[in-house]
Structure 1
Amino acid sequence: MKLTKIKSFNKLLTNISGSFSGSERQQLRDQMVKDIYTNAEIIANNNVSVQGSKGGIGEKIDDILTSKWLGFPIMLLMLGGVFWLTIVGANYPSAMLGEFLFWVEGHLSNLFMAVGAPNWLHGILVEGMYRTLAWVISVMLPPMAIFFPIFTLLEDLGYLPRVAFNLDNLFKKSGAHGKQSLTMSMGFGCNAAGVIAARIIESPREKLIAILTNNFVPCNGRFPTLIILATIFMGRIFGSKYSSFTAAAIVVFLVLVGIAITLLVSWILSKTILKGIPSSFTLELPPYRKPQIGRVLVRSFIDRTLFVLWRAIVVAAPAGLIVWILANNTIGGVSIIDYVANLIDPFATLIGLDGVILMAFILGLPANEIVLPILVMSYLSLGSMIEPDSADALRGILVNNGWTWVTALCTMLFSLLHFPCGTTILTIKKETNSWKWAIFGAVMPLTVAIIVTFLVNQIFTTLFL
């Protein structure tokens, strides 16, 4: 009998709301939910007596964390703190891991020489495939091993639902779902993980919006490029004394740009090809709880860190082989990489880059970590990927090849917004079960990156150069 009444009520609600516009329907649903909770609170207050102070420590904390004035600043400070711990904490283990892996490379080279292996085989397997894998592992593993456990701890503690609560209104105005804030946050560790996290969104339309826009927040594969370029170019704008602060501020600004474009593109998609009414997101904030640290560490490392790293390795290994082949085969006496770079240079110049930079991004499709090594290799006309000995050495190489601070800014924006890595594209295909959406998920951000860098280059070149 009760089930029949509920069905009849839902049918009546559907018939009534059908005569309203989309926004009026949403307001009606929101008002009904608000009235239900208000009436429930009145009934509870009239029939239940609570001894002692009203409201526990959790409610007092929520008054601060979800405050209209304090919620966002605390959230940004928390995000900045996680970034700082990830970046600073990953530097030393990343350097140690890289040193070990390249030590192994030296012994592999000695082994190939000892058995008399041909140079081309050594180049493909060691300088191509192994060296690429070594860079991907040394750059990706330490940050993910720090970021994912911290993120999972915040999730287990109960803070992430408060983040969704704070951002719900912004995402609702953009035609998306409040839970997209959680999937977006996962993208800071890895965009492939952010795409997988979109499973928490029930609406297929809003889930697809979250998947397609997750690429606009930088993953840990793109953070090294952003941080290095911000340090050696933007960090010197206000002098060496404030260089680290300036560089950090530039990276935070780029992150905020990525979030703003996420909201803008979500709004455009919701008004065009993914048109629809945002679904209701009635979120009951769970109580705070003590995280189970041991379980969180194991789960985040196995289910997230190793899972994403393995996907990156599978994609990056063939990439190293292809890069080596292109760098060591010529057309008219010029390596294939340089030949193609010269062809695309006029277009690349329009968007503030050059042919070598754009070619590095194209070859970096399998893994964002190898973009800078490919760039340096092309500028120095070497047959294998290298990393400069210091930041000053890298700056010298780039400046000698015509870089200005506008070039650096456009390169950082292109790195922030361009197509996702091969691992993320494959993940989009798997999650949507459609190559159409996977291809769209690559072409759409590339289009945004081209438009943004073109405008920035034209404006800043006209005003300052």
Structure 2
Amino acid sequence: MMADHFVVALAGNPNVGKSTIFNSLTGLNQHTGNWPGKTVANARGKYRHKDKSFILVDIPGTYSLMASSVEETVARDFICFGEPDVTVVVADATCLERNLNLVLQTLEITGNVVVCVNLLDEAERKEIKIDLKVLQARLGVPVVGVSARSGRGLNQLMETVYRAALPGNVSRPLAVDYEGVIEEAVRMVEPEVRRTVQNKINSRWAALKLVEGDHSIIKSLRDIMGFDLINDAILANRLATARKFLQENNCDSDVMRDSIVSTIVSLAEEIAREAVISENQKFNSRDRKIDSILTSRRYGLPAMITLLGLVFWLTVTGANYPSEVIAGFLFWIEERLTEFFQWAGSPPWLHGLLVEGMYRTLAWVVSVMLPPMAIFFPLFTILEDLGYLPRVAFNMDNFFKKAHAHGKQALTMCMGFGCNAAGIIGCRIIDSPRERLIATITNNFVPCNGRFPALIAISTIFVGGTVPGIPNSVVSTCVLMSVIILGVFMTLLISRILSATILKGLPSSFILELPPYRKPQIGRILVRSVFDRTLFVLGRAACIAAPAGMAIWVMANITIGGVSLLGHGAGFLQPFALLLGLDGYILMAFILGFPANEIVIPIIIMSYVSTGSLVELDSLEALRQLLISHGWTWLTAVCVMLFSLMHFPCGTTLWTIKKETQSWKWTLISFLVPTLTGITVCFIVAQTVRMLGLG
């Protein structure tokens, strides 16, 4: 009797287009990343073929199944214990030899494998030909060639997977033969392993892992399958005999592991020589020429700063007009809502709570956030699609190594530009728990999208236009880039301090693949950046801003002794705020903006105009006049920008930290470290400027 559905595992190295295949088959917008481990949790989707349901599971991209990292363990355990009917291993046609290592390791675990050779269009462009028939004959399992970005070959892939999943399908996967001593040791152990695991997993492979000394497989067998191999006396005795035999033949666990790896690599090279025909030996020359500039010691960092500066300049210059249009439309709706409440005869407090509090705050957040995100995210996604972000990590790796942190932290920083919560989740790509915590604690030094509008507005009002002969947008962009660079510097500095104190240790090594440069798919970029990023972040902000707006309205309208609760809070904070170059209302706004950074500036405005609700300002000049009339100077603007860069994470980010670390201790530290850093930096700047008589 056939099952109601088939489970298909989708495996492969990073950057082979695995998530593109997942998207194309399931219709889900699973995010496609250009670095290892972007999908650490298994993403699932459904598709139908020949009236049969398939559950497609996108497991983490990994180079190996030897379980030396989080990704490898998750991928291996699903293939072993997730009971997929078929495992599809996606390989890159432009570098098949390297990808065959994972294919051969998968064949050792299960014979229900379909090899999907993707990126055939890229291979053709580089004059590389793959003989799929030879490859299939050597591997002993079905092989399908596809170009996932254009959809070519996907129907054939689904048909092949369908046939492979049918009961009675028999494949003869290639068996890897190891050195004689290793094979003899495996033969000693395998019968007892087969008895213990009851044919639920490949007993030869499990025996190999036990002899090799892979403790993670013992843990997985116990936790997932309930097999306690350690306490099996007969198996333990056989295992001791096998290891003694290996030692007598000068083959300890390290030598055995090296031998296993070299055997697989040699076999992959042999198969690739037979199946791959390269008619152009210089097919990578263009990529190497570009990398000679973008990853060079001399030009790499300047090129990175220039590209990011261009992205920010386009964001600054392009966001103003759309923001005004959206604000005009949303506040026009507010007028209609006000007319409706007047018509309905509702009490003033209800109109104030729902319209002046909730709706007006929501309208401000949408009008201020949406335009910059709609520009920034697509531009940033283009850099990602081009394959540039791994080059950023490559350029920054040496700096993070000197800070005793992990080079992949540069990638989590890039994710933080959109949303710090996303950056925290991205820290999963870092294998070392110590270095993962460092990246988590310092991720907030990268300004997220919620802080960009305030930084852009303040830099434009108080700095832009102050340099004669230089356009406002250029000066504002330079200020914004300076803030970003300061954030990176503080990330490195605090990472070094953490690694020397509460998180002592040396940086670990890692493999970072530089994928080939690829032509961005503009349509896919727009869909992904708008739906996966812009609307997702905007929706999260809106859900937080609406109730926060009501709470702020209540605080601004409930008075004690003629002074609002907001005023009492600001008065209490005033002495401390002055030490930091701020005032009580500014500090109060940061505290009340804990649910969402986007509402900090609206709270400041509401506090200053003393209306008990947010007001609509016609232009940045009107905002400038309001701030100056309440004592703002260039020093105030600088300290606000510094504290915006360095203060506690928003509520969503802190909750994400708690879920990722499973610890209130590290969540509290993640709150305190940036906050204390911001207080210290603002105090030093404010007091230094005042002592010099400059502010």
TM-score range (shorter-chain normalised) is 0.7 to 0.9
Aligned-partner Cα distance in 2 for 1:261–1:249: 18
* Residue in 1 that maps onto 2:666: 437
2:683 aligned with 1:446: no
* Residue in 2 that maps onto 1:319: 548
Higher share of residues assigned strand: 2
Aligned-partner Cα distance in 1 for 2:471–2:374: 30
Distance 1:426 1:49, change over 3 A: closer
Q: Secondary structure at the match of 1:60?
A: helix
* Residue in 1 that maps onto 2:298: 69
* Residue in 2 that maps onto 1:120: 349
2:571 aligned with 1:346: no
Corresponding letter in the other structure for 1:191: N
Q: Secondary structure at the match of 1:283?
A: coil
* Residue in 2 that maps onto 1:227: 456
Aligned-partner Cα distance in 2 for 1:387–1:13: 71
Distance 1:409 1:373, change over 3 A: same
Q: What do the CA deviations read for 1:362-405 (whole angstroms, capped 9, x no partner)? A: 11222222222211221221110124323333222222222221
Superposed displacement of residue 246, structure 1:
3.2
Q: 1:421 aligns with which of 643, 650, 659?
A: 650
Q: 2:513 aligns with which of 259, 284, 306?
A: 284
Superposed displacement of residue 174, structure 1:
1.0
Q: What do the CA deviations read for 1:156-212 (whole angstroms, capped 9, x no partner)? A: 221111111111111111122111111112222222222222232232322222222
Aligned-partner Cα distance in 1 for 2:310–2:561: 52
Q: What do the CA deviations read for 1:233-291 (whole angstroms, capped 9, x no partner)? A: 23354447665443332222111111100111111122222222322122232222233
Q: 2:329 aligns with which of 100, 124, 147?
A: 100
2:591 aligned with 1:362: yes
Aligned-partner Cα distance in 2 for 1:231–1:89: 13
Normalised TM-score (structure 2) = 0.59
Q: What do the CA deviations read for 1:114-156 (whole angstroms, capped 9, x no partner)? A: 1111111111111111111112222222322332232223222
Higher share of residues assigned helix: 1
Aligned-partner Cα distance in 1 for 2:627–2:524: 46
* Residue in 1 that maps onto 2:366: 137
Unpaired stretches in structure 2, ≥5 consecutive residues? 1-177, 180-207, 215-250, 258-264
Distance 1:196 1:329, change over 3 A: same
- Contact kept in structure 2, 1:315 and 1:422, CA below 8 Å: no
2:384 aligned with 1:147: no
Superposed displacement of residue 359, structure 1:
0.9
Superposed displacement of residue 9, structure 1:
6.7
- Contact kept in structure 2, 1:152 and 1:300, CA below 8 Å: yes
Aligned length: 435
* Residue in 2 that maps onto 1:268: 497
* Residue in 2 that maps onto 1:410: 639
Q: Secondary structure at the match of 2:464?
A: helix
Aligned-partner Cα distance in 1 for 2:471–2:519: 39
Aligned-partner Cα distance in 1 for 2:467–2:355: 42
2:389 aligned with 1:160: yes
Aligned-partner Cα distance in 1 for 2:441–2:635: 28
- Contact kept in structure 1, 2:369 and 2:453, CA below 8 Å: no
Aligned-partner Cα distance in 1 for 2:666–2:629: 41
Distance 1:52 1:182, change over 3 A: closer
Superposed displacement of residue 96, structure 1:
2.2
Distance 1:152 1:112, change over 3 A: same
Q: Percent identity?
A: 60
- Contact kept in structure 2, 1:417 and 1:445, CA below 8 Å: yes
2:587 aligned with 1:328: no
Corresponding letter in the other structure for 2:435: E
- Contact kept in structure 2, 1:139 and 1:221, CA below 8 Å: no
Aligned-partner Cα distance in 2 for 1:123–1:54: 66
* Residue in 1 that maps onto 2:81: none
- Contact kept in structure 2, 1:193 and 1:308, CA below 8 Å: no
Q: Secondary structure at the match of 1:235?
A: coil
Superposed displacement of residue 10, structure 1:
6.1
Distance 1:10 1:59, change over 3 A: farther
Aligned-partner Cα distance in 2 for 1:305–1:13: 50
Normalised TM-score (structure 1) = 0.86
* Residue in 1 that maps onto 2:476: 247
If you compute each CA radius of gyration, which structure gives the higher value, 1 or 2? 2
Q: Secondary structure at the match of 2:373?
A: helix
- Contact kept in structure 2, 1:373 and 1:387, CA below 8 Å: no
* Residue in 1 that maps onto 2:624: 395
Aligned-partner Cα distance in 2 for 1:396–1:170: 42
Superposed displacement of residue 97, structure 1:
2.1
Corresponding letter in the other structure for 1:207: R
* Residue in 1 that maps onto 2:71: none
Aligned-partner Cα distance in 2 for 1:103–1:344: 36
